[in-house]
Amino acid sequence: MASIAPVTGRGPTTVDTLDVGQASAMPAEEVLAALGSGPSGLSDESAARRLRSHGPNAVRTHAVSPSAVLLRQLRSPLLVLLAAAAAVSFAVGRHPDAVIIGIILLGSVGLGFANEFRAERAAAMLHERIRHTAVCLRGDRPLSLDVTDLTPGDVVRLSAGEIVPADVRLLAVQSLTCDESVLTGEGRPVPKQTGPVEAGAALAELSCCALMGTVVHAGIGTAVVVATGGRTRFGLVALQLGTRHPETRFQAGLRRFSELLLGVAAVLTVAIFVINLLLARPLLQALLFSLAIAVGITPQLLPAIVTTSLASGSRRLARIKVLVKRLVCIEDLGDVDVLVTDKTGTLTRAAVAYAEALDPYGDPRPAVATLGLVCADPSARGGGNPLDVALWQAGLPEPVGWKVLAGVPFDHERRMASVLADDPDGVRLLVVKGAPESVLARCEDVPDRAEQVLGDRFAAGARVIAVASRPALDVTAVSPADEARLHLAGFLVFADPVKPDANEAVARLTDLGIAVKIATGDNALVTAQVCAQIGMTGPLVLTGADVDRLDDAALVDAADQATAFARVTPEHKARIVRALREHGRAVAFLGDGVNDALGLHAADVGISVDTATDVVKDAADVILLDKDLHVLADGVVEGRRIFTNTVKYVLMGTSSNFGNMFSAAAASAFLPFLPMLPSQILLNNLLYDTGQLAIPSDRVDPEQLRSPSHWDLHLIRRFMLFFGPISSVFDFLTFAAMIGVLHAGPALFRSGWFVESLATQTLVIFAIRTRRTPFFRSRPSTLLVFAAGAVVLAGVLIPYSPWAAVLGFRPLPATFLLAVGVMVVAYLALVEGGKRLFYAEPAGAPAARWRNTAHAVGRRAARFSHRRHARPLRLRTAARPRLRAGRRPGWDRRR
């Protein structure tokens, strides 16, 4: 592999020779020197020069290549064989047939190319609007840069909830731990430090490094980038998996369906070819006819239909205030059957209001509010912790004369914050406020009445924090260890009323087959009260302590049964999500605080809101412009609508295409001529496909949206075998009318069957698109009606057109057109009756969805996407992962 031009730094080693394994065995100062960097990072000029040399920090590309899209249209071996056969036909003197086949093939390829290219450009524009950023030092100035703009030598800052943006050598850490399961399979967070490790250490033992694609579980750190893009350990794995984005269950189902039809096409093609040879028909004619049959049964426009549906779906979602970062997120959203959500702002109004200050006996005591303000974060005056914001906005008297000296900020393990402060009289106190359970556990001589006061407020649905203090006369610094031997001052009570429409929103999600579960840091009694107010009767509430007591296997069942989880930490939330996914459930997680980032990364679909913190929005797959469960329900419905419309195309292809092609195979066995010329079959298929492009616009019945969207290949196979023969029955009736009544020759026979087959396979969409009575109880979209009508009209008019003779058609008698109309109506009526019988059989339970490491890597790799290509680099260390046979890292090309 050609080497990449080195970038010379101030140290003795070029950046191209330094990978994370080597950096882990070197002191941090030597790593900086080797990379030609320093604690203040690179200069803008040096960074720009290196970025030009190394390329973007990307393992995926969203560049749209017209040639790649065109190649996907041409990669069908059937099309290639048909084009080759047409060329041979032209060479042996059958010029008109060859030219007609060539024109129709070009039209078919052009139709697929135009639609898929347009949808690909829409997807690329979506990627361009989404930014994943990292904080980087450039000349000692902290900048927020796109992760794809990082280059070796950059100094970056890491904080909880972020994805590590590259392979980095740590320079400084504070309680830093990382979740590296995406690379190592180790589910527990790994503590990090800055000292070098032994040379040749395994990937899981690189404690002084953080790896691209892993999640910062807790703490903060500063690090220097040593490898980017395809040079990283994550990048190597991602590139080995191929350049495609992760295959969803929906896409896998489409692939298996296409393989099924290709198998059917192969059998029919061989059978028809052999039959025609046995009937002593010309070899070239037999080959063209059998290949045309195979092309007719394959779903050539399926990729275009799916991509077009998703692209138009993303635009509709944007109109209903739902933004998706990647098109496949729409499919995942429709697949969701469990939603884990926070409480504040989703189910409650998020307008947390200060209500009262009470002493331990429940009597009003304003001094407690003063202590609460002393301990409150002063930056919350402009936003932040909602309880501190509510205190500052309550109009309470300012704590004049108090002097704060030191403090320990709130964290989700202690669930408390504390400050060391001098009161107006100069008395030094340690003031602590936080979750009542945590504060009371550190207090002495708590009156029994305090527990009752707490219980009454919790039962009323109020949010309560406890405030305590103790003298600290000779203390100059404070740590969590000092939060002991406290005296309970009292309680601060806040109101956070439930949204008026929360009950309706939860009921709507339940009607959509989605189990709603609450995960909150609030008290269990308050959580249970909120559950009761929104109609979640008889809630089973697990606390964080309960989660800690359960091992992973026990938590799987407990999480599935629970309605809500109270007093949970960020790690609890991620663990709960992973446990729910063990049941094969598709889990969405909705959150907007930094403490929600781990849950978002663990979920199948991470959902946040536009007002969330940057870390959380970066972790999310879907952004809601309104933090409203109704908006989320609208997004789920749109995802399912797209899935349902795609399945309509699939079911129609299995019923009508299979039936028509089977009829052609049977007719060729007993007719003295071909039932339809290869060019006529291809023209029929082209017109049919053109009409199907309107399917993504179709309406969907409400009952089709009431359960998660699951792919069912068994149902599709049954549908093909049930309705395909019904289509063939009417084809045989057409044959009988043409031969027995009209005594048709080859041209008239082909014209009649062309019109009848095109009409039946196009109009059957109106019966297949719904389980209701078409038009009367389920109206199709106007565009679909227009498209289907236009295709049928074109099919009827072609035998009367100036090109009819060239195409091998002749005008049809009016009596036959009338007979065709009667047969089409009878066919649709029979399909409608068969539909009632077919759907009377109960559907089986959907298969559980299991997602492997490849899916996790592919999904996370999507954030490292660039319009340019990713560059892998052959590592010179023994730790380089083994590549699959026949694959080597290379330029990342459009899928």
Q: How far apart are CA 825 and CA 832, in angstroms?
A: 11
In sequence order, the 6+-apart residues with CB closer than 8 A to the CB of 875 are 19, 21, 231, 236
The residue type at 110: G
3 state DSSP class of 376: coil
Residue 358, classed as helix, strand or coil, is strand
At 406, is the secondary structure helix, strand, or coil? Answer: strand
Q: Report the chain's terminal Cα–Cα distance, integer Å.
A: 22
Q: How far apart are CA 105 and CA 111, in angstroms?
A: 10
What is the CA 723 to chain-centroid distance, rounded? 34
Q: Distance of CA 96 to CAs 110, 166, 295, 466, 807, Å?
A: 21, 60, 20, 90, 9
> Where are the extended beta strands (E) located within 114-244?
133-138, 141-146, 155-159, 167-179, 190-191, 209-210, 215-227
Distance CA 735, CA 422 (A): 100
Instruction: Look up tokens 């103790």; give the residue.
Output: 470
Q: How far is CA 138 from CA 41, 156, 334, in A?
A: 5, 9, 42
- Side-chain-side CA neighbours of 332 within 13 Å: the count stands at 25
What DSSP string describes 252-285? Answer: HHHHHHHHHHHHHHHHHHHHHHHHHHHTT--HHH
Phi/psi of residue 310, each to 5°? -70, -40
**Start-end of H helices in 36-158:** 44-54, 66-74, 77-91, 95-129
Rounded CA separation 269/287 (Å) = 9
Look up residue 311 and give its two tokens.
Answer: 């692209």
Residue (of 303, 330, 304) closest to 126 by Cα position: 330
CA–CA distance, 296 with 683 (Å, rounded to integer):
10
Query: Up-side HSE of residue 342: CA atoms within 13 Å toward CB?
Result: 26
- Distance, in Å, from the CA atom of 532 to the CA atom of 517, rounded to the nearest integer, reads 13
Q: In sequence order, what DSSP letters do the residues of 728-754 get, joined into one string?
A: HHHHHHHHHIIIIIS---HHHHHHHHH
Closest CA to 404 of 388, 422, 391: 422
* Closest listed residue to residue 587, CA positions, set 579, 595, 858, 878: 579
Catalytic residue among 332, 342, 496, 892: 342
Copy the structure tokens of residue 383.
Answer: 């936003």
Per-residue DSSP letter, 167: E
Sort residue 140 into left (φ over 0), alpha (ψ -120 to 50) or beta.
Answer: left
Closest CA to 632 of 341, 344, 348: 341
Query: 3-state class of 710 per DSSP?
Result: coil
Find the helix or strand (DSSP H, E) in which 589 lies. Answer: strand 587-590
Centre a 10 Å sphere on the Cβ of residue 839 and count the other Cβ atoms it contains: 12
Angle at 831 between CA 828 and CA 835, to 5 degrees: 140
Q: How far apart are CA 840 and CA 837, in angstroms?
A: 5
> If you search the block for the tokens 């189910």, which residue do you land on?
347
Which residue type, as a one-letter code, is found at position 447? P
**Sequence-distant (≥ 6) Cβ neighbours of residue 563 within 8 angstroms:** 517, 518, 531, 536, 538, 539, 540, 541
H or E element: which one contains 289? helix 283-297
- Known catalytic membership, residue 618: no
DSSP-derived secondary structure letter, 127: H
So which residues are the catalytic ones?
342
